[in-house]
Amino acid sequence: MRTMRREFFGRLARTAACLALLVPAAAWANTAPARMALVIGNGGYAGAHALANAGNDARLMAKTLTGLGYAVTERHDLDRAGLTDAVAQFAERLPQGAIALVYYAGHGMQIENNSYLTPVDMALSSPKAAQVQSYALKSMLERLARARSAVNVVVLDACRNNPFRPVDGQRYRSFRDLGLSPVEAPRGTFIAYSTAPGQLAPDGKNGNSLYTRTLAGVLREPGHGIEGVFKRVASLVRRESLDDQLPWYESSVAGNVVLGPGGAALAVAPVRSAPAVAGGNRQASRGMQAATDGETPWYREMGAADWSRLDWEIQQRVKHLTPDEIPGLKHKAGGGSVVAQTVLGLAYRDGLDRARDARSGKTLRFNANNTVAWSWLKKAAAAGFPVAQAEIGEMYYGAHGVARDLGASRRWLEQAAAANYPRAKLDLLQLNLESSGGKADPQDAVRSLFESLGIPKPGQAGGR
């Protein structure tokens, strides 16, 4: 009997050992992977290049990640050797299967299609010298790729300007020319940028950059996977900046990874053994467009007060636009800003140049170009931007640069009204009353409009 028991338990042990070889270790683990973060804030640059908020942003991110259970290493104002050592030491400490997050706030730049993080002691002498003195983003990614972590997340709240052009009067997270170049994320890596290639990310107001402040808030929200976090951040940043800042990312992470609350229940898939996605290691939805793919656009979540603010801002931008601002505006519009596209369309429609009439005191605009105006407005309207759609509807209605077509006017206005855009609803009310030949009851039409705008009718709570 004793011999039989020994043989039975021996067979059981051998069977368990075989199963252990067949089943991935993650399937047996009930514990969450280690979460570790390296947070770097470089703001102590010399003279005009100093960044007031980079240190604050690093401290906010370190506090946020610590509260989410990350083991955080926080470093400030690093030179090139400091950046190299900080990343190397962090990567060396990463345990098997960890989630590693590296956050950088500071200056960044692109030279010869390569991206660099700028040490605080870099002397600006020439592009070639800067390549030697700066810390290459590629070096960081390669070092993390050799670590034992399962997932590497790199967050760059850095502007993308080249430091070898004159400084303008604005405080941007970079020195000069636009654009950190796109980089292919190594397998198992997620790279988040505070703004799209070729665009600017301001240093921010009230102590923090808009991107980091928004990211810190979204990370605390439960229920977001890794892409969900950065899509949510992108939507909020685009809304608050009125599409002036367009967050962007590259990803080669397979499976769902939770960075915020709920990560304790996560069993990380063997990300590094996952097959590469189409197009190298990049996600098919890579880039700035990933900010809105599958998500409700930021301009479809606005109330009447938000629309009023946006309408006023667009009017002011068109009114005060000068010819020397056109190249920068085209740059933003080409990067996907629907607000910039609409402003350009209206400016070209009304005329880029202006002069003051000595008799009336009015400002007259001239040098209009309806062809260019139409192309920009159609681009924004095709992206679903209600302001551009309403402008096109009004152009068809009033025969402004195009033959009058009430059917086309209605179609464009209905699209804009579907986004709860008040001006489009008012335009539709006028169009419906006109089309009815006097048969429609104006009071019924107004009541319907009030209902659609959420304004209480007389006799209701809040009414008069």
Buried b (16+ CB within 10 A) or exposed e, 153-182: bbbbbbbbbbbeeeeeeebbbbbbebbbbb
Task: Work out the mean pLDDT of the chain and round it to a whole number.
Answer: 79
Mean pLDDT of 25-50: 77
> Which band of pLDDT confidence, cut at 50, 70 and 90, is reported for residue 183?
confident
Determine the average pLDDT of the residues in 376-389: 96
| pLDDT band, very low/low/confident/very high, at 451 (cuts 50, 70, 90) | low
Q: How far apart are CA 18 and CA 205, in angstroms?
A: 60
Q: Mean pLDDT throughout 377-394?
A: 96
Give the C-alpha separation, 258 to 229, whole Å.
9
> Which of residues 161 and 381 earns the better pLDDT score?
381
Q: Quick check: 173 and 210 in contact, CB under 8 A?
A: no
Q: What is the dihedral of CA 254, 258, 262, 268, to 10 degrees?
A: 40
* d(C-alpha 173, C-alpha 301), whole Å: 29
Q: Report the 10 Å Cβ neighbour count for 96.
A: 11
- Whether residue 416 is predicted with pLDDT greater than 70 in this model: the reply is yes
What is the pLDDT, as a whole number, of residue 64?
98
The shares of helix, strand and coil residues in the chain, as percent rounded to the nearest 5, are: 45, 10, 40
Place of tokens 């629907």: 338
Q: Which residues pair with 101 in a beta bridge?
A: 37, 153
Q: Average pLDDT in the 239-253 region?
A: 91
pLDDT, one tens digit per residue, over 39-78 is 999 999 887 788 889 999 999 999 999 999 999 999 999 9
User: Span 309-314, mean pLDDT?
Assistant: 94
Q: Which residue type does 260 have? A: G
CA dihedral 51, 54, 55, 61 (to 10 degrees): 170
Kindly report each contact of residues 16-24 with a partner whose C-beta sits within 8 Å and lies 24 or more positions away, as own/partner: 24/270
Mean pLDDT of 101-129: 84
Helices within 225-337 (DSSP H only) = 226-240, 304-320, 326-334
Domains of the chain: 25-295 (3.40.50.1460), 304-453 (1.25.40.10)
Provide φ and ψ at 208, rounded to 5°.
Answer: -145, 155
The three state secondary structure string of 160-211 is CCCCCCCCCCCCECCCCCCCCCCCCCCCCEEEEECCCCCCCCECCECCECHH
**What pLDDT, on the 0 to 100 scale, is given for residue 122?**
82
Among 114-123, 274-283, 327-336, name the one with the lowest average pLDDT: 274-283
**Is the pLDDT score of 397 beyond 90?**
yes
Identify which has the larger pLDDT, 125 or 298.
Answer: 298
Q: How many CB atoms lie within 10 A of CB 335?
A: 19
Return the higher-pLDDT residue of 330 and 179: 330
Q: For the chain, first and last CA: distance in Å?
A: 93
Token look-up 């002069």 returns: 355
pLDDT for 197 equals: 73
Q: Inter-axis angle of helices 338-350 and 370-382, to 10 degrees?
A: 160
User: Given the DSSP bridges, would you call strands 248-251 and 353-356 parallel, antiparallel or unpaired?
Assistant: unpaired
Sheet strands side by side (includes 71-76): 71-76, 35-41, 99-105, 151-157, 189-193, 248-251
Question: 184 pLDDT exceeds 70?
Answer: yes
- Binning pLDDT at 50, 70 and 90, where does residue 173 land? low
C-alpha to C-alpha distances, 393 to 178, 377, 379, 385, 423, nearest whole angstrom? 35, 11, 14, 13, 11
Total-model pTM: 0.79
Average pLDDT over residues 137-146: 95
Asked if 216 and 209 touch (Cβ cutoff 8 Å), the reply is no
Residue 263 is predicted with a pLDDT of 58
pLDDT tens readout for residues 72-108 = 999 999 999 999 999 999 999 999 999 999 999 998 8
At residue 455, what are phi and psi to the nearest 5 degrees? -90, 125
Q: How far is CA 346 from the centre of its chain?
A: 25
Residues 199-230 have pLDDT tens digits of 767 776 778 999 999 999 999 999 899 999 99
Give Cβ neighbours of residue 112 (< 8 Å, ≥ 6 apart).
127, 131
User: Residue 387 is encoded by which pair of tokens?
Assistant: 């302001």
Ranges 56-70, 154-168, 310-324, most confident: 56-70
Question: How long is the chain?
Answer: 464
Amino acid 47: pLDDT:
76
